[in-house]
Amino acid sequence: MDMFSEVLHLFLSLDNILAIALGVVIGVVVGSIPGLTATMAVALALPFTFTMEPVAAILLLVGIYKGGMYGGSITAILIRTPGSPASACTLLDGYPLAQQGYAKKALKTALYSSVIADFISNIALIFFAAYLAKIALNFGAPEFFWLICFSLTIIISLASGSMIKGLLAALMGILLSLVGLDEVYGSQRLTFGNYNLMDSISFIPLLIGLFAIPEIIEFYRKKVVPHIKAKASGVGMTLAEFKRCLKPIVRGSLFGVLIGAIPGTGATAAAFISYSDARRRSPNRDNFGKGEVEGVAAAEAGNNGVAGATMIPLLSLGIPGDVITAIILGAFMVHGLTPGPIMFQENLTLIYALFVGIMCSSLVLLVVGNGAIKYFSLIADIPKSILFPIVLMFCVYGAYAVNNDTFDVWLMLGFGVLGYIFNRAAIPAAPFLIGFILGPMFEDNLRRSLLIGHGDMSIFVRGPITWFFIALTLGSILLALYRYFSTRRQSSRPGKAQETP
Amino acid sequence: MKHIVKAACLAACSSALVAGVSVSTASADEWPTGDVRLVVPYAPGGTTDVLSRRVADLLQDELDANVVVENRPGAGSTVATGRLARGGRDVDHTILMASPGHTIGAAIYPDLAYDPVDDFVFLQNLIDIPNVMVVPADSPYDNVIEFVEAAREQNMTFSHSGVGSSIHMSGELFKTLTETNLTAVPFAGSGAALPALLGGDVDVSFENMPTVLSHIRSGDLKALAVTSAERSPHLPDVPTLTEVGEYSLDQFVTTAWFGLIAHESFPQEAQDAMHEALAGVMQREEFLSFAEQLGAEPGQVSGESFQQFIAQEVERWQEVAEQAGISQ
C-alpha cells in the first residue's frame, strides 16, 4: 500500500498530466506535417526536459512519440502525403476512403486502432517486459533473417491483380534500396559518385514523391474538379465495422509489440507486415487498396503497437531500439537515471509512475486525436484547386526538411514521376515499399549471420526461434500456392460450364 | 466558408510553429552581431546532437546571443563539413560540432572536397568519451592477454555500430596491432549491436563507455580494458590498453572526442569571443554534470593543440583504414 501511494504521489501532479497532454498535442501536429517527424520533435524537445522533473520529462517525450506515431496518418488519409514513414501503409486504404467521401470514417478508424494498439502495447510493456526482453536478446541475426523471409513471403498476398507487376514493383524497391554504402565494406553502391546518395535514398522524399505528386499531376492533367460533398461531416466508424476490424487490430498490435521489442526493426516494417497479414486473412481481401477500413485499422495498429514495446528493451535492458528511444535514454541519463535491470531495483516507484503515465497517454491520445480529427478533417472540404498548390508546397518543404538539402526535393519530384507511371500502369506501390524497407534488412541479416557463424550455414537453424520462423515461412508459401491453384480451378470451372451447352 | 477560414487559420498556426520565432539579443558593435548557427553534422538524437543542444543552451547565456542548432546529416558528417569548408554566407557566425567522423570520414570517404585540418579553425575540444573493450559476461577471457592469445588461435568477431564509426575503427586498430583473427560484424547503431554482444553472438566490442557502463555495473558485460590514456574514474579497476604492455598496444590510445570547429576565415575577434565563452561553458556545473552523465571527461585541447591532435588522428585512421581495406 505504501508503494501504491508513493507511486500515485509521484505521478499525480499537474506537471505530469500537462507534460503528457502537451507531448501528445505536439506529436500529433508535428507528426501530421510531412517532413517533420516525431524523431525531430523529440530531439527538439529534449533540452526543455533538462530542467523538468524526471517523470514529467520522460512523459513529455513519450507523449510526443505516441502522438507523432498517430499524427502521421492524418495527412496520409486526407492528402495522400504520409506525415511520417510509418503512416505510408495507412495511406493505401485511407486515401481511397477519403476520396469516396469517408474521410472521417478513415480518420476515426485510424485513431481507434491506434489507441487500442497503443493500449495493448502498454500492457505488454508493463506485464511482459521481462519475457519479451529475453526473446529480444535471443533474437540474433539468423532469427531476424527468417522473420524477414516470412515477411517477404507475405508480399505474395499483396500482389493484387497481376503477380508479375507485383514482383516487378518489389524488385524495383529492392534495387533502389541497394543504393548507398555497403554495410560491411563501406564501398559505394550505385551512388554514381554522388555524395548525396551515400546514405542511401531518403525514405521521406521517396514516400512524398510516390504518393502525393501523382495525385497532383493527375488533377492538373484532367483539369476537372471532382465533386465530393460532405466529407468532413461524414459518418464515423460504425459498430459493425469496429467489430470487423477488431481482429486485425489485435493481431496488428501483437505484431507491433513483437517487432517493437526487438531493437532495430521499426514501426514502418510493423505496419506493412500487419497490413499484409490482415489482407491475407480478410474475407474482404479484394477490397484492400481500394478503401477498406480493415486495411487502415491493421496498418495503424501495426505502427502504434510498436510505440509502447520499444520501451521494453530500453527499460529492461537499457538498449534503445530506435532513434527516439535513444533520445529518451539520453533524457533518463541527464536526470541521473540509467535504464536497465538496476533501475528496476533502485527506482521502482519511478518506473511505476512512468507506467501509470504511459497508460494515461493512450487515453490522452484518444481525446487529442478526436479533437484533431474535428479540425483536420476540414481540410477535406477545401476545394482541390486551392488545396493542391498548398499540398505541393508542403511536399517540397517536407522533402527539404529531412536533410535541409535541395537534392531531396529533386529526388522527391523524380519519385513523383515514377509514382505517376506506377499509377498509369497499375503497378501496386505496396510491394515496392516492402521491397525497399525489407530488402536491406534481408541482406544485412544474411551477411551478419554469415559473419557471426564464420561462413557456417548451420547458424540458420540454430534454435527454436529459427525453426518457428522457417515453419511459418514454408507455411506461408504453401498457403499462397494452395490459394493460387484453388482460385484458378474455381475460375476455370464456370468457363468450362459455358462451353458445354 | 467558415470551415475554410478555420482550416486556413490552423494551417497558418502550424506553420508558425514550424518556423519558430527568433529574436536576437546581441549588441551591434561586437561579435556576435547576429544569431550563431551551430551545425550538427548528424541527424537529431545521437550523442553529437544531444551534446550540441546542451552546449548551445549554455553558450547562449555566455555569448548573450541566440545559438541556433541546425542538423545537416549525411555521409558520416562529411556533407555538413564540406558545406562549411566551402564557406559562403554567415560563415563568421557558423560553428560545427565535430567528432571522430571528422577524422575517420577523411580516411574512408574518397574525393573529399576539403582538407580536414587546413580548411578549418579549431576552437575547443569539449568532451572526450573513452571506448571500453567489453566481452559477454560468460566469456572465458578475463584479461586482454588471454583474449589476444585465443584470438590468434581461432576466428573471433567484434560488433560495431556502422562502417567508419569510432567503435569500428577501434576494433580494426586493435586487430592490426595485435595481429589477431578478428572479423568485423556491422550493425545499424549501437542499440542494434548491443543485444548481439549481450547474447554472446559476437566475442568482443569496443563500445563507447556510456553505452555499456550500466551493463558493466550490472555484470552483464565484462570490461577488459579502456582505450583512454588514463584509467576512467567510472571504472577505476579496469586497466587501460597501454597498461597491457604487449603487442604494441601502447599505441592504442583513442577516445570519441567532440569539439567545435569553424571555417578557416572565422574572424580572430570571433575566435577570441568563442574561446572566452566556451571556457565559461566548460566551468558551468550544468556542463560538468552533463559530461559526467555521459561518462565523458571534459576536453583538454583547444586552438592550435586541438588542430595538431586532429592532424595526428587523420594520419592514424588513414593507416588503419588502408590496412583494413575499408573503402577509398
Domain stop point among B251, B267, B293 = B251
**Phi, psi of B115, rounded to the nearest 5 degrees:** -100, 125
Q: What's the distance, CA A208 to chain centroid?
A: 15
Asked if residue B165 belongs to a domain, the reply is yes
Instruction: Work out the mean pLDDT of chain A and round it to a whole number.
Output: 86
Asked if residue B5 belongs to a domain, the reply is no
Record the cell numbers describing residue A46, joined without a space.
529534449
Domain stop point among B231, B251, B271 = B251
* CATH code: domain of residue B147: 3.40.190.10
- B198:A137 CB<8 A: yes
pLDDT, one tens digit per residue, over A294-316 is 999 999 999 999 988 989 988 88
- A264:B192 CB<8 A: yes
pLDDT in tens, chain B (328 residues): 444 444 444 444 444 444 443 344 444 468 888 899 999 988 776 778 888 988 998 999 999 899 988 888 777 788 889 889 888 778 899 999 999 989 998 888 777 888 999 999 999 999 999 999 999 999 999 999 999 999 999 999 999 988 888 899 999 999 999 999 999 999 887 878 888 999 899 999 999 888 888 889 889 999 999 999 889 988 999 999 999 888 888 888 888 899 999 999 999 999 999 999 999 999 999 899 888 877 888 888 888 999 999 999 999 899 888 888 876 5
Cell 515453419, residue located: A471
Asked if residue B167 belongs to a domain, the reply is yes
Same domain, B167 and B212: yes
What does the DSSP assignment read for B205-269? EEEEHHHHHHHHHTTSEEEEEE-SSS--TTSTTSPBHHHH-STTGGG---EEEEEEEEETT--HH
pLDDT at site B48: 85
In this complex, which of A319, A339, A376 lies closest to B195 when CB atoms are compared? A319
Domain count, chain B: 2
Which of B218, B220, B290, B318 is the mutation pick for testing A, counting most A CBs within 10 A?
B218
pLDDT at site A224: 60
Asked if ipTM goes beyond 0.85, one says: no
What residues does each domain of chain A span?
A: 2-490
Q: Which residues 141-180 of B are in CB contact (within 8 Å) with A?
A: 155, 157, 162-164
Asked if residue B7 belongs to a domain, the reply is no
Longest dimension (CA), chain B: 80
Asked if residue B10 belongs to a domain, the reply is no
Q: How far apart are CA A84 and CA A294, in angstroms?
A: 20
Question: Is B253 within 8 Å of B268 (Cβ atoms)?
Answer: no
> How many residues belong to chain B?
328
> How many residues belong to chain A?
501
The percent helix, strand, coil of chain B (3-state, each to 5) is 45, 20, 35
In this complex, which of B155, B290, B327 lies closest to A187 when CB atoms are compared? B327
Q: Which of helix, strand or coil describes residue A223?
A: coil
Same domain, B108 and B135: no
With 90 as the cut, is the pLDDT of residue A59 above it?
Answer: yes
Same domain, B44 and B149: no
Size of interface A-B (CB pairs under 8 A): 178
pLDDT at site A159: 58
Q: Which percentage of chain A shows pLDDT scores above 70?
A: 94
- A378:B157 CB<8 A: no
Q: Does B18 touch chain A (CB under 8 A)?
A: yes
Same domain, B142 and B234: yes
Please indicate whether residue A464 or residue B251 has the higher confidence score (pLDDT). A464
Same domain, B244 and B293: no
Q: Which residues 73-132 of A are in CB contact (within 8 Å) with B?
A: none
Please indicate whether residue A192 or residue B9 has the higher confidence score (pLDDT). A192
pLDDT at site B111: 74
Domain stop point among B223, B251, B279 = B251
Q: B155: domain range?
A: 130-251
Q: What's the distance, CA B188 to chain centroid?
A: 16
Same domain, B154 and B117: no
Asked if residue B270 belongs to a domain, the reply is yes
pLDDT, one tens digit per residue, over A379-412 is 877 888 888 898 899 889 888 887 778 899 999 9
Same domain, B272 and B123: yes
- B185:A452 CB<8 A: yes
Q: Confidence class of residue A158 from pLDDT cuts 50, 70 and 90? A: low
Asked if residue B115 belongs to a domain, the reply is yes
Asked if residue B233 belongs to a domain, the reply is yes
Nearest CA to A99 out of A226, A212, A207 is that of A226
Q: What's the distance, CA B261 to chain centroid?
A: 13
Q: Does B200 touch chain A (CB under 8 A)?
A: no
Question: Is A62 within 8 Å of A23 (Cβ atoms)?
Answer: yes
Chain B residues within 8 A of A185 when measuring between CB atoms: 163, 325-327
- A336:B293 CB<8 A: yes
- ∠ CA A156-A157-A163, nearest 5°, is 55
Is the alpha carbon torsion for B40, B42, B48, B53 positive or negative?
positive
What does the DSSP assignment read for B272-305? HHHHHHHHHHHHSHHHHHHHHHTT-EE---BHHH
